[in-house]
Homo-oligomer: A and B are copies of this chain.
Amino acid sequence: MDRSSLSELLQKFSRHGRELVRRHLPFAASGAGAARSRAEMMTDMARDLISNRGEASGVAIAADLLRLYETAGESDRATFFAALAAHFNPDRSRLVAAWRRFETDGWSAYPELARATEAPRQELFRRLNLAPGGTAALVRMREQLLGMREMPGVALVETDLAHLLQSWFNRGFLSMQAINWSSPARLLERVIGYEAVHHIRDWTDLRSRLDPPDRRCFAFFHPAMPDDPLIFVEVALTDAVPASIQELLAPDRVPLATEDFTTATFYSISNCQPGLRGISFGHFLIKQVATDLQREIPGLKHFVTLSPIPGFMRWLRTDDPELAQEAEAEGMSHRDRLLARALDYFLEVKDPEGRPIDPVARFHLGNGARLEQLNWMGNSSEKGLRESAGMMVNYLYDLPAVEELHERFANRGAIPIGKPVRQLMTKLESHSKSMEFQG
């Protein structure tokens, strides 16, 4: 930050902020000193914020600190995080004393132990939230902390902030809202940027996802970030479980009448906030969308996904390099062999905790969905071919069964499968037997 932009920034500061910057100004002039100094300023502000002074003018100090933070470079931020890790820990002697009392008095001494264990960083983050836009700024700060997690001490800071965000972004505080062509342009612009599964090219493409009568989109919002979705899901309404994304997004399709819809397909789910990693909303969103659509359109019978198999080819390259190579080279051949290996991939291959290694499968099966159908050439795009040999999969949410399936999956790793997958298995088996037999 050069002097002119610093002085611009200063104009927005509170009296307290300006005084503080002035105190540090000698350093601000020179190169290395300047970097050190901005981190120092932020650290001083952080200290003030959790002091007595912070009680009276918390909003102003929080706003100043976040303003400084948001315009800081990576090295300033790293230094600031290091300071938070070093100087905002609990008071060790108080902590030891509380532990001693807990050892002698037991649970009655627990409240003081809990209080003594909490790091002042938590109070710092709570007070930073007083600034306008504070919540969104803290979510971005966690994103940056996650990016620096390997640096010494950063994990302490990140853990504390994650704990707070987990509590603040409780599903009970979120509201689900439809996103459509009447939504604010400011919000839609973000949706274009956030879509992670099937890229949205421009406003015309966006409109084709939101406006036709056979398309829906829903998102979770936090009241402190009303223009910024946390997660959204795109839904297509059809009269059959769709087998390919090309077909589903075909621009020249004729939308059905509402009374002909039987199937709602979740064909794209995008998490929007990297700073909320590990705080899971997806299953809440899918279930609420399914429940609400069911009420709105009583004719809906099936709630399915049309999902990628992002890890299949990566795994195949290790497990069966020859087939992988052939699949990549020839594109659409080896249908049965690849389908058979995909079934293995879903049903046989496990991670150390005994769960499927495909992240999308883990997510939906973990929500209580079942593996319904495997679709050859479900995604014939370059990306689809490269990642999953062009296959896609439908997970089916049978709402009344979801709870039980979830428990079985969580407790025993049981993977429920639907009739189409079962039929595919039978067919492939008899085929492979006949192959064997012929062989």
Contact = CB atoms under 8 A, between A and B. Distances in A.
Contacts of A107: 85, 89, 153, 156
A119 interface: yes
A363 interface: no
A244 B81 CA distance: 50
A183 B113 CA distance: 45
B407 A56 contact: yes
Contact of A56 (B134, B168, B171, B403): B403
Given A52-B407, A185-B182, A185-B188, A223 B173 contact: yes
Interface stretch (A35-43, A124-132, A338-346): A124-132
B119 A114 contact: yes
A167 B170 contact: no
B119 A117 contact: no
Interface in A325-374: 367-368
A167 to B, nearest CB: 5
A134 B185 CA distance: 27
A207 B203 CA distance: 13
Given A56-B406, A170-B130, A223-B173, A114 B185 contact: no
26 contacts: A16-B403, A55-B406, A56-B368, A56-B403, A56-B410, A59-B171, A108-B155, A111-B156, A114-B118, A114-B119, A114-B163, A126-B170, A129-B172, A129-B173, A130-B172, A134-B172, A135-B172, A172-B224, A173-B224, A181-B189, A182-B227, A183-B185, A184-B185, A185-B185, A185-B203, A185-B207
Q: Give 4 closest A-B pairs by Cβ, nearest first.
A: A56-B406, A223-B223, A129-B172, A111-B159
